[in-house]
Structure 1
Amino acid sequence: MERAPAVRCRGITKYFGDVVALDGVDLDMPRGQVHGLVGPNGAGKTTLLGVLLGLTVPNRGSLEILGAPVDRVLAVPDGVGGFVDGPGLYPSLTARQNLAAVARLRGRGIDQGSEVDEALEQVGLVDVAGDRVRGFSLGMRQRLGLAAALLTKPRLLVLDEPSNGLDPVARRHVHRVLEGLAAQGAAVVISSHQMDDLAALCSEVTLLARGRVVFSGSVGKLAAESGRLAYRVLTSDAATARRVVAETPGLDLVPDRHPSRPDEGAVVARGQVSAVDDLVVRLVGAGVAVRELGPLVPPLEAAFLTLTGAEGALAEVGAP
């Protein structure tokens, strides 16, 4: 297996007039993994995706993709596919005709019959292969864009919000495709605002803010950056649960600012995961049944808010 990363960025800087979109980005993206790219609006995600696809080049810094240096527009090596800001499709053509057009444009021996049909089957669009794209939903367009990228036999696949508009079944279908590509050794880079997508798919995550990398590492490490979270605990005895929370080291009892079922014995405790584990043991020991337990803000989302300076949003739900 090749050891060099699929993507190596060093000091990547890109500006548009006075606007600095990327500011000295250093980043490695390994092969054989799904890598998540996240950040608030205006963080530079779309610009970085465009750089990886060869749609633009940085003003400063060095970029290697699949082991080859890239220093001009559209100079990425073969094996790079994907889309940014939604896939480019011909609305008057059918799904199959769109993919056949991609095959012709590529001109590299893609079978316009069997390979197109295989790509449609991979993304679950065989039943609508003969329908014109102008009538497709957003989710169907996203899947057709993925099918077009699959025709390139990508070793680096770059996708911008691939789960937009997908229902749960279609989203899981797309997840299986991306996981399969990574298992075969491809590097998959996805930009997403959906933290559950990141948790389900990604081995590593890079978080951008104001054009700079503020975090890059495993999903587990990112979740650990969330620190002390607020957990809602639904029990059989709220009064006893409050007392036990107050007696548990490392936990604070905080108000539930958004109670969904205020009359069912819920309390909110803030602390590290280890302290919450201790709380569950203490509640059971006190004869209190724990019916539901979960963070008010998922750990990945909490880490996102903390690292991008949006602590005020956490405070609204009782987190620090």
Structure 2
Amino acid sequence: MDAPLAVRARGITKCFGDVVALDGIDFDVAPGRIHGLAGPNGAGKTTLLGLLLSLAVADEGRLEILGAPVGRALTAPDGVSGFVDGPGLYPSLTARQNLAALAKLGGHPVGDVLEQVGLADVADDRVRGFSLGMRQRLGLAAALLTSPRLLVLDEPANGLDPAGKKHVHGVLERLAAAGTAVVLSSHRMDDLEALCTEVTILATGRVAFTGPLAELSAENGELEYRLRTSDPAAARRVIEETRASIVPPEPRTDPEVLLVRAKVPALDELVRRLVHTGVAVRELAPVVSPLEAAFLALTGQEALR
């Protein structure tokens, strides 16, 4: 038999007084998947993560975690771990002491989790001297103590430098490959694109989209691209002969860069014609990534060029 879904939510509603934080949320997370959660501030992401960690209970709807229905008790099911709004740590204790205290409470060994998150060299340093990124990694280490089957993380890449982010991404990818489901909230579209196989986008407490990332950033949307070539004048003439269009430049724009608006098939045609004409393409990149463009459209926001 197939393993049960790590998360199955149907009609989840949560209110705080007159404020509807979640309004009929449906979404699924399968084992071994990294599921992104995105949305503007106030969209309901933190509330939903709190429900997954049993920090609150839904007013309406049905929530199943690791195949078991979630009741009214504020107790996280076995196999679930993570943090919301940053990890809770003891600043006067060292990283190792923090983990030892948590491990003792849950009856778990500390093991090599500090090595896994790249903090072995600072294991005996007090947490009060840690940077934001180091605290995030220590919070991840604490979440790994229980060998979770569902890992819930709120902005895990906050404060991480490029090396730290790459390290954390590797940890999460290895966990997913071993069967752990990961739900992570992030405002950074590049993190979601790099990590997630699927995403749920919330807007004003409702699901604007949930499903595979490839479906969200489908190639039928018209986007703006930065185009730098060996011959801008010739490139402009070629563009006028295709289904692409030139976006009027803004002040202080590099004169060698053309902004082109096109769907992917038209962009492919443009590249073929440029090459056939002998114009070298030195740069071709979306001004806003396909995922970010879809996010902005679904949430009713505008991109800043």
TM-score, structure 1 normalization: 0.92
Match of 2:273 among 277, 282, 286: 282
The answer to whether structure 1 residue 81 and structure 2 residue 46 are counterparts is: no
Mark the CA change 1:2 to 1:148 in structure 2 (over 3 Å): closer, same or farther.
farther
The Cα offsets for residues 259-317 of structure 1, whole Å up to 9 and x where unpaired, read as 5522xx2211111011111101111111211111111111111111001011xx24x53
The answer to whether 1:298 aligns with 2:289 is: yes
Q: Is the contact made by 1:233 and 1:267 (CA closer than 8 Å) also made in structure 2?
A: yes
Aligned Cα RMSD in Å? 1.4
Summarize deviations over 1:181-238 as a string: whole Å, max 9, x none.
1111110000001111111110100000000001011111111277100111101111
Give secondary structure in 1 for the equivalent of 2:28.
strand
Q: Report deviation, 1:253.
A: 1.3
From 242, 245, 251, give the equivalent of 1:252.
Answer: 245
Structure 1 segments (4+ residues) deviating >2 Å:
73-76, 256-262
1:259 to 1:190, Cα distance in 2 relative to 1, 3 A: farther
Matched AA of 1:111: P
**Residue of structure 1 equivalent to 2:141:** 147
- Contact 2:219-2:263 at 8 Å conserved across structures: no
Q: Is contact 1:54–1:75 with CA below 8 Å preserved after alignment?
A: yes
SS in 2 for 1:87: coil
In 1, are the aligned partners of 2:13 and 2:22 still within 8 Å (CA)?
yes
Aligned residue number for residue 4 of structure 1:
4
Residues 67, 228 of structure 1: alpha-carbon distance in 2 compared, 3 angstrom cutoff: same
**Structure 2 partner of 1:309:** 300
- Residue 202 of structure 2 corresponds to which residue in structure 1? 208
Distance 1:51 1:148 in 2: 19
Do 2:102 and 2:142's aligned partners in 1 also have CA atoms closer than 8 Å?
Answer: yes
Q: State the alpha-carbon separation in 1 of the partners of residues 189 and 292 from structure 2.
A: 6
Structure 2 counterpart of 1:234: 228
**Aligned equivalent of 1:91:** 91
Letter in 1 for 2:139: G
Distance 1:89 1:41, change over 3 A: same
Structure 2 residue ranges without an equivalent (≥5): none
What does the per-residue CA deviation read over 1:105-133, in whole Å, with 9 as the maximum and x for residues that have no partner?
112xx224xx1xx0000000011000000
Aligned partner letter, 1:276: L
CA shift in 2, pair 1:247/1:225, >3 Å: closer
- Partner of 2:237 in structure 1? 243
Aligned partner of residue 61 in structure 1, secondary structure: strand
TM-score, scaled relative to structure 2: 0.97
Structure 1 residues 260, 73: closer, same or farther in 2, change over 3 A? farther
Task: Give the conservation status (yes or no) of the 8 Å contact 1:139–1:165.
Answer: yes
Q: Which runs of 5+ in 1 are unaligned?
A: none
Query: Aligned runs of 1:91-130 on 2, under 5 Å?
Result: 91-107=91-107, 110-112=108-110, 115=111, 118-130=112-124
**C-alpha deviation, 1:75, in angstroms:** 3.1
In structure 2, the residue matched to 1:273 is 264
Q: Closer, same or farther in 2 for the Cα pair 1:260/1:99, shift >3 Å?
A: farther
Whether the 8 Å contact between 1:9 and 1:63 is mirrored in structure 2 is: yes
Q: State the number of aligned residues.
A: 305
